[in-house]
Chains A and B, each alone.
Chain A
């Protein structure tokens, strides 16, 4: 979607004759560029700042003044983070739930979206309402938690996959896209003797690759980022995903911040790293996959955002 803006085009066409791009507008344009540059900088800089902090020795960072690039470069923080058994396990868990979450969620949601596109399906309207209703009303956190506990899910890794593989938003994205596949394709395949499963696999999936990629990414990012499920519903600390572990580390640091960090610098003066610098490396390990993947997939994300906002 290249936003060739109407107003702009008109201004250019007419600027010679009817309207002169006056000084006021020129000043506005300059201010606008300056403002948007600052906005972009303000958005990007925190990431950069933590990135260089994670590549700097913790001790040196605490002296201040590390603003643009690492002053005392080191990979120690990353090395220590990966050596930490808890962090490493939590990363493995995060990778596992992201992958299974994407595979299970994408497949099962796509199957429902396909079925809901078959107009002759008896009960189609009722099913559509069944999917929709959960978005306007819910039982709330406590009854949900009690269901998890009754099923014993709150102490297994499936807590992160089973209860949440369906999402109405993703369902709408897929259904909107499947509805655009010519219905005749399905009918002619049926005449050739194909059943729904083979139509789904051989006709619908191949023509829907972009939207499948989009939904896969939405699910993946959601799973990777979800700290809440682990923090409030998981009873086994050994099953915390990385995002939850980071939150626990933050919470612990908060409780002791003002006292601990000062003491540490005296007690552990031998170390070049600090708990803060380790934490920065961990934050970057959590952020990197998204920052690396994101620019390539941005256009799919944007498409997804638009379809969802129009239909949902």
Chain B
């Protein structure tokens, strides 16, 4: 675009810059309608996602209602200290990790196994019915799931207690038993998510190269050997990515479910980080402490994802980024 009539190089560059700015401005004007399209979501995200991010400073403040978040005096690390030194710290961390690790051990591999089993089904109709039914719980609310559980487990006509009675045992209020809490959490999670979770693995299995199986059969590999040496390595990437995401959620016990299963009787088992944030913040109004706990959790989760991702990339060549 530089024209010969401008002898000075500097002038040329200045002109070029100006030209470029003009073009950008023209391009922006030409696309005005698209900016209008973006505007509602943009404003919504600013208000409801980015402004709350700024609200994190609350964790470092002594909040005074009349001074606002930014006008309130600084408190340094006071709230983090008071959380870490409180007895609730270890209780909530332990409870959270107990639940998430159990879910990681039981609920993480389950959809993979289900996908492998479904993959062995030849009868297309049977397979479709099983799939349709197993995806269904994913679409109902946790409130409904817990209501279903209560009906099944109630001492007043519930089927589980009826079976207990038939076997000569006393009916019990299962949902209120402290020792039943963990099994209830893990198995309701399994029940709700195993089917839907298998979709990803099923589609990964269809992506495995067919020729590998043909070659294996010629080599005399048994069916089990094919699954072990071809199918599972073939979906390794998918498993790896899902695993990294699961580890990132190690402090996410699933507040939706936990809140609904939480009862005074099992509180020593069921108070996890998320429910504790809600309790201190919304129930007792300790906004700063609750924000600090929430921030602690987010930062820890972020560190976990980055670490697992790095390790996975190094040793298994799988990664989110």
Q: Do B223 and A138 touch across chains, with their CB atoms under 8 A apart?
A: no
The answer to whether B205 touches A139, judged by C-beta atoms less than 8 angstroms apart, is: no
* Cβ–Cβ < 8 Å partners of A254 in chain B: 175-176, 263
**Would you call A6 and B210 a contact (CB within 8 A)?**
yes
Mask, A1-31, CB within 8 Å of B = 1, is 1110111111100100011001001001100
Q: In the complex, are the beta carbons of B298 and A140 less than 8 A apart?
A: yes
**CB-defined contacts of A258 to chain B, threshold 8 Å:** 173, 176
Quick one: closest A residue to B296, CB to CB?
A140
Does A166 lie at the interface of the complex (its beta carbon under 8 Å from any beta carbon of B)? yes
B134 in the interface (beta carbon within 8 A) = yes
A140-B132 contact, Cβ under 8 Å, with A50-B151, A145-B282, A280-B151: no
Are the CB atoms of A143 and B58 closer together than 8 Å? Answer: yes
Closest CB in chain B relative to A16 CB, distance in Å: 12
Q: How far is the CA of A125 from the CA of B138 in the complex (A)?
A: 34
User: For the complex, is B150 an interface residue (Cβ under 8 Å from A)?
Assistant: yes
Report the nearest B residue to A114, measured CB to CB: B37
Q: Point out the residue from B119, B121, B150 that lies within 8 Å of A250, measured CB to CB.
A: B150
Query: How many pairs of residues, A versus B, come closer than 8 Å at their CB atoms?
Result: 300
**A32 to B79 Cα, complex, angstroms:** 54
Q: Which residues of A contact B277 (CB under 8 A)?
A: 140-142
Q: Report the bound CA distance from A142 to B29 in whole Å.
A: 39
Please, which residues of chain A bring their CB within 8 A of the CB of B196?
A: 305
Residue of A nearest to B203 (CB): A306
A61 proximity list for chain B (CB < 8 A): 157
Task: Report the contact-size class of chain B (Cβ under 8 Å from the partner).
Answer: 35 or more
**Among B4-12, B80-88, B89-97, B122-130, which stretch is in contact with chain A?**
B122-130
Q: Are A122 and B213 interface neighbours, CB within 8 A? A: no
Interface positions of B from 156 to 176, Cβ below 8 Å from A: 156-157, 159, 161-162, 165, 173, 175-176
* A147 with B206, Cβ < 8 A, contacts A2-B124, A50-B151, A305-B199 known: no
Chain A 239-261 residues near chain B, CB threshold 8 A: 243, 246-247, 250, 253-255, 257-258, 261
Is A295 an interface residue, CB under 8 A from the partner? yes
**What residue of chain B has the Cβ atom nearest to residue A109's Cβ?**
B41
B100 lies within 8 A of chain A by Cβ: no
Interface residues of A in 102-154 (CB under 8 A from B): 108-109, 111-112, 114-115, 118, 120-122, 127, 130-131, 134, 136-147, 151
Q: Which residues of B contact A225 (CB under 8 A)?
A: 139-144
**Nearest CB on B from A107, distance (A):** 9
User: Shortest CB–CB separation between residue A172 and chain B, in angstroms?
Assistant: 13
Q: Please, which residue of chain B has its CB at the minimum distance from the CB of A280?
A: B151
Tell me, yes or no, whether B49 is within 8 Å of chain A by CB: yes
Q: Which residue of B lies closest to A31 (CB)?
A: B117
**Which residue of chain A lies nearest to B227 when distances are taken between CB atoms in the complex?**
A7
Residue B200, interface by CB 8 Å: yes
Q: What is the CA–CA distance of A122 and B119 in the complex, to the nearest angstrom? A: 47
Partner of A43, one of B134, B159, B256: B134
Are A283 and B147 in contact (CB-based, < 8 A)?
yes
Known: A120-B27, A250-B260, A283-B147. A139 touches B200 (CB 8 A): no
A301 and B37 contact, Cβ closer than 8 Å, known pairs A64-B165, A261-B156: no
Chain A hits for B124, CB < 8 A: 2
Q: Are B203 and A11 in contact (CB under 8 A)?
A: no
Which residues in A have their C-beta under 8 angstroms from that of B302? 136-137
Residue B300, interface by CB 8 Å: no
A47 to B42, CA, bound (A): 41
A18: chain B residues at CB < 8 Å are 217-218, 220
Min CB distance, B183 to chain A, in Å?
15
Q: When the two chains form their complex, are residues A7 and B223 in contact, meaning their CB atoms are under 8 A apart?
A: yes
Q: Which of these binds chain B: A33-41, A72-80, A205-213? A: A33-41
The answer to whether B157 touches A66, judged by C-beta atoms less than 8 angstroms apart, is yes
Assembly CA distance A257 to B217 (angstroms): 60
A162 interfacial contact with B, CB 8 Å: yes
Asked if B202 is at the interface (CB within 8 A of a chain A CB), the reply is yes
- Give the contacting residue for A64; candidates B118, B162, B282, B297; CB below 8 A: B162
Provide the residues of chain B in CB contact with A305, threshold 8 Å: 196, 199-200
B281 touches A141 (CB 8 A): yes
Q: Tell me if B233 is interfacial: C-beta within 8 Å of chain A.
A: no
- Is A266 among interface residues, defined by CB-CB distance under 8 A? no
- Asked if B143 and A118 sit within 8 Å, CB to CB, the answer is no
- List residues of chain B with CB within 8 A of the CB of A3: 118-119, 127, 202, 205-206
| A203-227 interface with B by 8 A CB criterion | 221, 224-227
Contacts of B142 in A (CB 8 A): 225, 227
Tell yes or no: A294 within 8 A of B by CB: yes
Closest chain-B Cβ to A223's Cβ sits at a distance in Å of 11
Q: List 7 A-B contacts (CB under 8 A).
A: A7-B230, A109-B41, A111-B37, A115-B34, A163-B48, A257-B176, A305-B200
Q: A112-B37, A121-B34, A197-B33 are in contact. List 4 more A-B contacts (CB 8 A).
A: A14-B217, A196-B34, A247-B260, A294-B139
Binding site for A on B (CB under 8 A): 24, 27-28, 31, 33-35, 37-38, 40-42, 44-45, 47-56, 58, 69, 114, 117-122, 124, 126-127, 129-130, 132-137, 139-144, 146-152, 154, 156-157, 159, 161-162, 165, 173, 175-176, 191, 195-196, 199-200, 202-203, 205-206, 208-210, 212-214, 217-218, 220, 222-223, 226-227, 230-231, 255-256, 259-260, 263-264, 274, 277-278, 281-282, 287, 290-291, 294-295, 297-298, 302
